[in-house]
């Protein structure tokens, strides 16, 4: 269940259906099932953006680049989740919803990000009692990806998983 608030976010994402630019206001209501609340947040905030935008600059005109790669999971399918990109300089985390391979999604992603340095991961909840997401990282979360204006960075595969969510590195 979602309610409108005064907080605004900007979403810029490319999915299997094409380019989507969304501006909206949403607030999550606390839910019983952690994974349901987590995925509802991912669906509504495809990219959460704290980038400073002047009144004469629209989000579409911000400098941005592209990151693409494949998703992996230690199992027979890719579960529903989100791809998260953390800007190293600002700490802002951008997210892109992933519906899962059982829902027809491909095993690859295409993420539009504002220029900057990022760490990326694919987050999913594998059980309803899990408090932290189980995540696949790019090269063990040690690799920083630099997004440049108009350029595409390829082969950023989010495939390094840890034994449990509690063993994961800080993001």
Nearest partner of 134 among 38, 30, 70, 21, judged by Cα: 38
pLDDT at 163: 55
Q: Which residues of the chain have pLDDT under 50?
A: 1-56
What are the domain boundaries of the chain? 2-167
Q: Tell me how far apart the alpha carbons of residues 98 and 16 are, in angstroms, rounded to a whole number.
A: 10
pLDDT at 43: 41
The b/e string for 129-138 (b: 16+ C-beta within 10 A; e otherwise) is eeeebbbbbb
Architecture of domain 2-167: Sandwich (2.60)
Q: What is the pLDDT of residues 46-69, one digit of tens each?
A: 333 444 444 445 667 789 999 999
Q: Tell me how far apart the alpha carbons of residues 8 and 25 are, in angstroms, rounded to a whole number.
A: 5
C-alpha 11, offset from chain centre: 11
């Amino acid at each position: 269940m979602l309610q409108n608030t005064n907080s605004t976010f900007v979403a810029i994402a490319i999915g299997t259906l094409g380019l989507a630019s969304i501006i909206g206001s949403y607030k999550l209501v606390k839910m019983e099932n952690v994974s349901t609340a987590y995925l509802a947040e991912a669906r509504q905030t495809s990219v959460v953006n704290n980038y400073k935008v002047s009144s004469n600059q629209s989000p579409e005109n911000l400098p941005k680049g592209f990151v693409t790669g494949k998703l992996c999971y230690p199992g027979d399918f890719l579960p529903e989740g989100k791809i998260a990109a953390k800007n190293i300089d600002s700490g802002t985390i951008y997210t892109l919803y992933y519906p899962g391979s059982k829902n027809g999604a491909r095993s690859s992603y295409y993420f539009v990000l504002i220029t900057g340095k990022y760490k990326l991961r694919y987050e999913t909840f594998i059980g309803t009692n899990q408090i932290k997401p189980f995540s696949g990282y790019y090269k063990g979360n040690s690799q920083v990806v630099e997004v440049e204006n108009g350029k595409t960075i390829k082969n950023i595969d989010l495939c390094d998983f840890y034994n449990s969510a509690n063993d994961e590195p800080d993001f």
